């Protein structure tokens, strides 16, 4: 015992007992009092929860060609997959792009992001001391559900044809941009839709900006003369103007009162009825027609065609255009008149192409359709989109009357350059337009920013395709018939000559580009045509009599040669149309400004009036056609 009276052994025993008591208390705390807390802590040290990536659905064209799909990316620990756009820039403005967070950032990828992404799963992973997963003890708590596959209505081959034609057109006409859309008029399905320039969705560094915009749905512009179809529909459907009514020659410009700002045409056309005014694209006549229809009925018809309303039900970035109310149209004595020829109204390209589709299909306005169906991971269809008819806009009779007008526009009017020498048996119909774009910032039309357009039917009867082409700010040639029209023709030629797209077989023999006969003879004088052919050793064959070449066609009997049809622009006697194709007959009659009605298919076997009969004003030429047996 030391001087303090404490036994060292006792002290040691006490310390041991205290330590044991502390350990017992701590063990009791861990195993009894706070058992649940420590169990959670222990489990968290050896287990991890992680999200299971749901594979994003693919995007395909109508034939199953993959446009976008997800690929496993072993270097990406966040998503596990990366998005690949297998067709590169093709249809990129439609398909869109996926952001770094795995969510769609534009186009179909954004609009249908929820359906494409699917639902993520959850996995509880048990790990060893080296943080490696112990697979037999780990399990998926919630399984991931893959996204659905989106099948679009577009055709990859047709999309390629359209995009190439736009690219070539922008270069040829030195334009800021160009856009086009091809639709099936009976279903509303969009078969191709594009704007150029475009962008590469696979690029990580390319700036996008305007190139990502699909201007078919995002551009708001003044339609110009293409709107005359809606004015004509309002006049015919309401019996406000007879198609036979003659509007007396106003000269080149019209002033309805001394103080009015005059409305002008590009030429002096003389007396015209509605059909002739459509062919010559007379602003004066259609201003008068709009006045006779009236503001209320003009507004009602434009609204029925979908003007001023979004055409789709959910397309991100779609504009609605602007349609003035009847009160706004009558705030002065000029606005309604200018609406008659496509001013004082703002539209989108998709609105206009669907309006023309209604004329093509007999009068029914269809909702534009870009989604064909949805498929699951196994390729089974889980949802199929049916065509949606919104309403009947005009009667079949009115639609048929307007289609005849549009056929004449191409074969003898402002769109002669649209008629194809390669597709001699496909008679186009359509209308040109040149107008100003609407500036949302200034809320006015920009006179320095023009849009040249053409909307065509191929063919004009039993229409297979309706196609709209816009050329933004073309230089030099700026009217629709010389810019947008030729692009339309190239698109249709590309479609009809494509083995997987052509509605029927076509003879592929044609005059080679760059050959001695690669020359547009239509409109040349007979003397000039013969002189050119002689100097350039171009094999040609002349048919008919007259002072001018009024049409031409590839002659299969001549190597790289053509047959030129001669006639006169002004005729007092009925020409002989026997044996001509319908296209050539329409061109002949178009040059003498005479309405034509026809029955049958093939070549002309009968005509009324007879050849050499004296022509009288207002006479209608009636043709009977028959195919060779």
Does the structure show a pLDDT above 50 at 469?
A: yes
Higher pLDDT, 527 or 3: 527
For 165, the enclosing helix (H) or strand (E) is: helix 156-173
Claim to verify: residue 478 and residue 551 sit in the same structural domain: no
Which residues contact residue 411 at a Cβ distance below 8 angstroms, ignoring those fewer than 6 apart? Answer: 419, 427, 583, 586, 587, 590
Predicted pLDDT at 133: 66
Q: Which two tokens stand for residue 496?
A: 């009809």
Does the structure show a pLDDT above 90 at 586?
A: no
Claim to verify: residue 387 and residue 482 sit in the same structural domain: yes
Q: Residue 51: count other Cβ atoms within 10 Å of its Cβ.
A: 14
Claim to verify: residue 299 and residue 440 sit in the same structural domain: yes
Does the structure show a pLDDT above 60 at 41?
A: no
Predicted pLDDT at 401: 95
Q: Residue 88: count other Cβ atoms within 10 Å of its Cβ.
A: 13
- Angle, CA 378 vertex, CA 372 and CA 382 arms, to 5°: 40
Does the structure show a pLDDT above 80 at 627?
A: no
Which residue(s) pair with 253 in the sheet? 264
In a domain, 502, yes or no: no
Band the pLDDT of 558: cuts 50, 70, 90: low
Q: In what order do the strands lie in the sheet with 149-152?
A: 81-84, 66-72, 59-60, 149-152, 371-375, 381-384
Does the structure show a pLDDT above 90 at 419?
A: no
- How are beta strands 149-152 and 59-60 bridged, if at all? parallel
- Look up the domain containing 12 and give its range: 8-33
Predicted pLDDT at 326: 97
Does the structure show a pLDDT above 60 at 507?
A: no
| H-assigned helices in 53-155 | 92-95, 107-111, 113-117
Does the structure show a pLDDT above 60 at 257?
A: yes
Claim to verify: residue 545 and residue 591 sit in the same structural domain: yes
Band the pLDDT of 477: cuts 50, 70, 90: confident
Band the pLDDT of 119: cuts 50, 70, 90: confident
CA-closest candidate to residue 50, choices 130, 163, 126, 112: 126
In a domain, 126, yes or no: yes
Mean pLDDT of 463-475: 93
For the chain, what is the domain count? 4
CA-closest candidate to residue 467, choices 213, 226, 210, 283: 226
Q: Which two tokens stand for residue 92?
A: 């990129």
Claim to verify: residue 381 and residue 420 sit in the same structural domain: yes
Predicted pLDDT at 76: 46
Claim to verify: residue 193 and residue 111 sit in the same structural domain: no
Query: Is residue 564 a contact partner of residue 548, using CB atoms and an 8 Å limit?
Result: no
In a domain, 566, yes or no: yes
In a domain, 130, yes or no: yes
Q: Residue 476: count other Cβ atoms within 10 Å of its Cβ.
A: 10
Claim to verify: residue 175 and residue 29 sit in the same structural domain: no
Band the pLDDT of 13: cuts 50, 70, 90: confident
Claim to verify: residue 185 and residue 144 sit in the same structural domain: no
In a domain, 514, yes or no: no
Highest mean pLDDT, choosing among 371-385, 522-536, 555-569, 570-584? 371-385
Of 152, 176, 191, which closes a domain? Answer: 152
Predicted pLDDT at 508: 39
Least confident of 105-114, 522-531, 562-571, 620-629: 562-571
Of 453, 474, 496, which closes a domain? Answer: 496
Claim to verify: residue 262 and residue 138 sit in the same structural domain: no
Domain containing 224 — which CATH number? 3.40.710.10
Question: What SS3 class is residue 83?
Answer: strand
Please state, rounded to an integer, the average pLDDT across all residues of the chain. Answer: 83
* Cα gap 370→94, rounded to integer Å: 9
Does the structure show a pLDDT above 90 at 407?
A: yes
Higher pLDDT, 564 or 332: 332
Mean pLDDT of 237-263: 90
Q: How far is CA 493 from the centre of its chain?
A: 17
Claim to verify: residue 107 and residue 170 sit in the same structural domain: no
Does the structure show a pLDDT above 70 at 292?
A: yes
Query: Is residue 397 a contact partner of residue 420, using CB atoms and an 8 Å limit?
Result: no
Predicted pLDDT at 510: 44
Question: What SS3 class is residue 169?
Answer: helix
Does the structure show a pLDDT above 50 at 24?
A: yes
Q: Which two tokens stand for residue 411?
A: 């074969």
The DSSP letter of residue 210 is G
pLDDT tens digits, one per residue of 346-356: 999 999 999 99
Predicted pLDDT at 509: 39
- Angle, CA 617 vertex, CA 616 and CA 619 arms, to 5°: 75
* Cα gap 69→52, rounded to integer Å: 18
Least confident of 186-195, 250-259, 463-472, 572-581: 572-581
In a domain, 73, yes or no: yes
Does the structure show a pLDDT above 70 at 616?
A: yes
* Cα gap 549→519, rounded to integer Å: 12
Band the pLDDT of 299: cuts 50, 70, 90: very high
* Cα gap 212→198, rounded to integer Å: 6
In a domain, 141, yes or no: yes
| H-assigned helices in 189-262 | 215-218, 228-237
CA-closest candidate to residue 174, choices 452, 572, 474: 474
Give me the half-sphere count of Cα atoms (radius 13 Å) on the Cβ side of residue 192: 28
Q: In what order do the strands lie in the sheet with 139-142?
A: 47-52, 121-126, 139-142
Does the structure show a pLDDT above 90 at 64?
A: yes
Predicted pLDDT at 336: 97
Predicted pLDDT at 193: 97
Query: Is residue 396 a contact partner of residue 419, using CB atoms and an 8 Å limit?
Result: no
In a domain, 41, yes or no: no
Domain containing 124 — which CATH number? 3.90.1310.10
- Residue for token pair 């697979």: 135
What percentage of the chain exceeds 70 in pLDDT? 80
Highest mean pLDDT, choosing among 211-220, 312-321, 393-402? 393-402
* Cα gap 277→268, rounded to integer Å: 12
Predicted pLDDT at 387: 94
Does the structure show a pLDDT above 70 at 4?
A: no
Claim to verify: residue 422 and residue 482 sit in the same structural domain: yes
Domain containing 610 — which CATH number? 3.30.10.20
First to last CA, the chain: 140
Of 496, 516, 551, which closes a domain? Answer: 496
Band the pLDDT of 320: cuts 50, 70, 90: very high
Claim to verify: residue 583 and residue 619 sit in the same structural domain: yes
Predicted pLDDT at 425: 78
């Amino acid at each position: 015992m030391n001087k303090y009276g404490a036994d060292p052994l006792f002290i040691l025993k006490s310390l041991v007992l205290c330590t044991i008591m502390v350990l017992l208390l701590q063990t009791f705390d861990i195993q009894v009092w706070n058992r649940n807390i420590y169990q959670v802590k222990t489990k968290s040290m050896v287990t991890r929860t992680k999200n299971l990536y749901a594979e994003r659905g693919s995007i395909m064209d109508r034939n199953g060609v993959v446009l976008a799909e997800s690929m496993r990316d072993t270097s990406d620990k966040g998503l596990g997959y990366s998005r690949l756009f297998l067709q590169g820039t093709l249809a990129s403005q439609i398909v869109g792009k996926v952001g770094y967070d795995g969510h769609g950032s534009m186009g179909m990828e954004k609009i249908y992001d929820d359906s494409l992404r699917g639902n993520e799963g959850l996995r509880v992973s048990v790990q060893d001391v080296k943080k490696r997963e112990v697979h037999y003890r780990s399990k998926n708590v919630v399984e991931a559900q893959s996204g659905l596959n989106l099948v679009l209505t577009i055709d990859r081959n047709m999309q390629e044809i359209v995009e190439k034609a736009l690219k070539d057109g922008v270069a040829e006409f030195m334009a800021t941009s160009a856009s086009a859309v091809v639709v099936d008029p009976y279903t509303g399905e969009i078969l191709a839709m594009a704007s150029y320039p475009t962008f590469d969705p696979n690029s990580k560094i390319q700036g996008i900006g305007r190139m990502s915009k699909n201007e078919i749905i995002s551009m708001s512009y003044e339609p110009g003369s293409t709107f005359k179809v809606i004015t004509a529909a309002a006049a015919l459907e309401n019996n406000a103007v007879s198609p036979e009514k003659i509007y007396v020659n106003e000269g080149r410009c019209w002033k309805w009162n001394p103080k009015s700002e005059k409305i002008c045409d590009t030429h002096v056309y003389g007396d015209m009825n509605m059909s002739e005014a459509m062919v010559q694209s007379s602003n004066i006549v259609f201003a008068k027609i709009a006045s006779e229809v009236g503001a209320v009925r003009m507004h009602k018809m434009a609204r029925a065609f979908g003007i001023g309303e979004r055409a789709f039900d959910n397309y991100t970035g779609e504009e609605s255009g602007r349609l003035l109310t009847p009160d706004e149209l009558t705030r002065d004595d000029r606005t309604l008149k200018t609406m008659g020829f496509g001013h004082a109204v703002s539209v989108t390209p998709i609105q206009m192409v669907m309006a023309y589709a209604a004329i093509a299909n007999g009068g029914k306005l269809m909702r534009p359709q870009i989604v064909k169906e949805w498929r699951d991971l196994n390729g089974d269809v889980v949802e199929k989109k049916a065509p949606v008819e919104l309403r009947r806009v005009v009667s079949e009779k009115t639609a048929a009357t307007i289609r005849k007008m549009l056929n004449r526009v191409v074969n003898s009017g402002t769109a002669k350059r649209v008629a194809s020498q390669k597709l001699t048996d496909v008679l186009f119909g359509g209308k040109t337009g040149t107008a100003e774009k609407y500036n949302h910032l200034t809320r006015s039309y920009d006179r320095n920013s023009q849009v040249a357009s053409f909307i065509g039917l191929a063919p004009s009867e039993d229409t297979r395709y309706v196609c709209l082409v816009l050329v933004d700010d073309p230089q030099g040639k700026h009217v629709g018939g010389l810019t947008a029209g030729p692009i339309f023709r190239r698109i249709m030629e590309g479609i009809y000559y494509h083995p997987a797209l052509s509605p029927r077989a076509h003879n592929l023999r044609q005059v080679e580009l760059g050959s001695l006969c690669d020359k547009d003879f239509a409109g040349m004088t007979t003397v000039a045509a013969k002189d050119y052919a002689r100097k350039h050793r171009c094999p040609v064959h002349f048919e008919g009599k007259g002072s001018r070449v009024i049409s031409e066609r590839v002659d299969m009997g001549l190597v790289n040669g053509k047959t030129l049809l001669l006639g006169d622009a002004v005729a007092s006697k009925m020409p002989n149309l026997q044996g001509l194709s319908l296209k050539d007959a329409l061109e002949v009659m178009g040059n003498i400004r005479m309405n034509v009605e026809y029955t049958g298919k093939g070549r002309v076997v009968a005509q009324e009036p007879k050849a050499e009969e004296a022509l009288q004003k207002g006479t209608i030429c009636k043709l009977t056609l028959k195919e060779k047996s």
